[in-house]
Amino acid sequence: MSRTTRWSRLASLGVLSIVFSACAGSVSPSPSSGGAPSTGASQPAASAASAAAFTAKAYPETAVDCANPPKYTSGSNSATYTGIFKQITAVDQLTVKFDLCSADVAFLSKIAFASNNIQDSDWLNAHAKDKSITHDAINGTAAYQLKEWVPGAQVTLEANPNYWGDKAKAQTVVIKWSKEATQRLQDLQAGTVDGIDNVAPDDFQTVQNDPNLQILPREALNILYLGFNVNQAPWNNEKVRQAIAMGLDRKRIADNFYPPGSEAADYFTPCAIPLACGGDKWYATDTAKAKQMLTDAGFDFSKTYDFHYRTKVRSYLPSPTQVATDLQSQLADIGVKISLVVEKDDTYLSDEAQGKFPLFLLGWGADYPDVTDFLDVHFGTGANSGFGKKFDDLTKSLAAGAAESDQTKRGQDYTDANNQVRTHVPMVPLVHGASATAWKKDVQNAHSSPIGSEYFFVMTPGDRTQLVWSQNSEPSGLYCGDESDGDALRICSQIFDSLYNYKVAGLDPEPALATSCDPNADLTSWTCKLRDGVQFQKGGTLDANDVVDSMAAQWDVKNPLHVGNLGANWYFPTLFGGCLNPNFDKDGAQTCAVGGS
């Protein structure tokens, strides 16, 4: 499938076409996918399962009063509930209802994301509190189940014999990792692995010229950025941040350190996503003006400032150290001295989420084709503390855009938001980076996912019964409600299902554990019918209470199941605006992280 053609089509249709076509619940496997997940669209969400022992629950028992949202205080800190969830209700054993405080046109795409996979309630209660659910006690519903995790070596999956959809082509999947792209390619050339992630920019041609290999590019649906914690001096001065934005040559980075198909960023959100690129483009590079602006702002040129980054290769950052070093050189050209500080891979995201880095390098890849996945996640009311305080004008524009179904009005909301991001400069967008996976030539139905979430169950590794995949890093955990790294989320997608999943090699949501999710007229209530008879791999049968508990554990900080792995990488607030009973970070902002004040 041509991703360029597909995304042009998405841009013309807009996200509402995804909402209503997906709601219809009629899905056919893509001929090029070799068999997408069976959706059973013709199968009603039957009530064959006995409801005798089922007691439906709602969370919270009393719905949030959206007109008078809850207020939270801790010491001198105070906050008001900012989320859009009002209540989740198990209507009956196979029906669950989501009531929202405001419309959400991207609801189906959000619930399809790997962080929203569904856990068995009994299993969650037994294994969440001791965190075994993050590593050893893994119990999903998807095509593969966890066989073994050898720390530092590999994760082994085996086919789930009770999977509700099309059975896995390969009986076993072995997932390995190497930080070095060159090493991953050498392993592929040697035949010890069947597929690799993130081919190095200099190796694209090598793979293309090898008759035994195939390279499958991804569109550049991501963003690399230089981030500021705007609460911390000297980055708390907006004029200083604007000067830095003007002083960096984004094209130089894209040209020197990225593969073909990459581009310097004019906007935070990739322009292939509908409504992404209204408003003024980012600042043109002008080093002389940037240095003068710093001088006028009273910037202290005598100091050296720490610049934090990690060496993990991502699709948005194929050469971390080289890019960080080039940024150091560019900043020196305008008189800003920085010291490069390499952070640990396994704690970098949680530390950033808690606002620990004054100046840092990070990026983001698309989860679904909507502006909310970029702007709301980073700058909305549910964004983490990485950038410090929120900007009221920006959060207002984003809230309006997320709830607006009229595409013209919605486009204006995001035009306003882009201009506000450009004014406030919580970060500098640098590059939209192209990337690719590479595979042995005989792997049938190999593909690259636009979000780095390849489905292994559709792939046939030649005449072998085992598929071996090499990615960038070991997952930090496999409870993906509290994971935000793509290497963990990819594995979760093999083991767990959400109510909807994304199509193979695509981003359109299609029914999975739900046979349908239908909205009311104003998109403030969604009713989902569950697939009957779905078995969890280690026991348990899917019902509506599993959905309620899986979501509530992420939504409510005071829920006893809100434990997670590191406890700071919760995706839920970035998708749905905020959480119940939040904690407060060191700067007094509300956070869904475990701990805090």
What is the DSSP code string of 420-469? HHHHH-SEEEEEE--EEEEEETTEET----TTS---GGG-EETT-SEEEE
Question: Burial letters for 494-517: b for 16+ Cβ neighbours within 10 Å, e otherwise?
Answer: bbbbbbbbbbbbbbbbbbbbbbbb
* Model pLDDT, residue 596: 55
CB–CB of 139/119 below 8 Å?
Answer: yes
* Model pLDDT, residue 369: 87
Residues contacting 336, CB < 8 A, separation 6+: 244, 247, 294, 299, 301, 305
Question: Burial letters for 535-545: b for 16+ Cβ neighbours within 10 Å, e otherwise?
Answer: bbbeebebbbb
Pair of tokens at residue 514:
């739900």
| Alpha-carbon Rg for the chain in angstroms | 23
Rounded distance, CA 318 to CA 365, Å?
13
pLDDT per 10-residue tile (average), the chain, 597 residues: 35 44 43 35 37 85 98 94 98 99 96 98 97 96 99 98 98 98 98 98 97 97 98 99 99 97 98 97 99 99 99 95 99 99 94 96 94 97 95 98 95 99 99 98 98 97 98 96 94 99 96 99 98 98 99 98 90 94 90 77
* Model pLDDT, residue 45: 39
pTM of model > 0.85 = yes
Rounded distance, CA 25 to CA 526, Å?
14
Give the DSSP H/E element, type plus range, for residue 343: none
Rounded distance, CA 486 to CA 365, Å?
9
Residue 186, Cβ density class (10 Å: 0-12 exposed, 13-18 middle, ≥19 buried): middle
CB–CB of 505/32 below 8 Å?
Answer: yes
CB–CB of 332/339 below 8 Å?
Answer: no
Residues contacting 9, CB < 8 A, separation 6+: none
**Cα torsion through 357, 587, 431, 474, rounded to 10:** 60
Residue written as token pair 């390499």: 342
* Model pLDDT, residue 133: 96
DSSP for residue 100: E
CA angle 23, 28, 33 (to 5 degrees): 120
Question: Is the bond into 234 cis (omega within 30 degrees of 0)?
Answer: yes
* Model pLDDT, residue 19: 52
CB–CB of 365/314 below 8 Å?
Answer: yes
* Model pLDDT, residue 28: 33
**Cα torsion through 300, 234, 247, 411, rounded to 10:** -160
Helix intervals (H) in 334-368: 345-353
Q: Strands 337-342 and 304-309, how do they pair?
A: parallel
Domains and CATH numbers, the chain: 222-432 (3.10.105.10)
DSSP for residue 535: B
Phi (first) and psi of residue 596, to 5 degrees:
85, -170
CB–CB of 135/568 below 8 Å?
Answer: no
Q: What is the DSSP string of 25-73?
A: ------GGGT-PPP--TTS-----S--TT----EESSS---TTS--EEE
3-state SS of 515-550 is: EEEEECCCCCEEEEEECCCCECCCCCECCHHHHHHH
**CA within 13 Å, CB half, 315:** 28
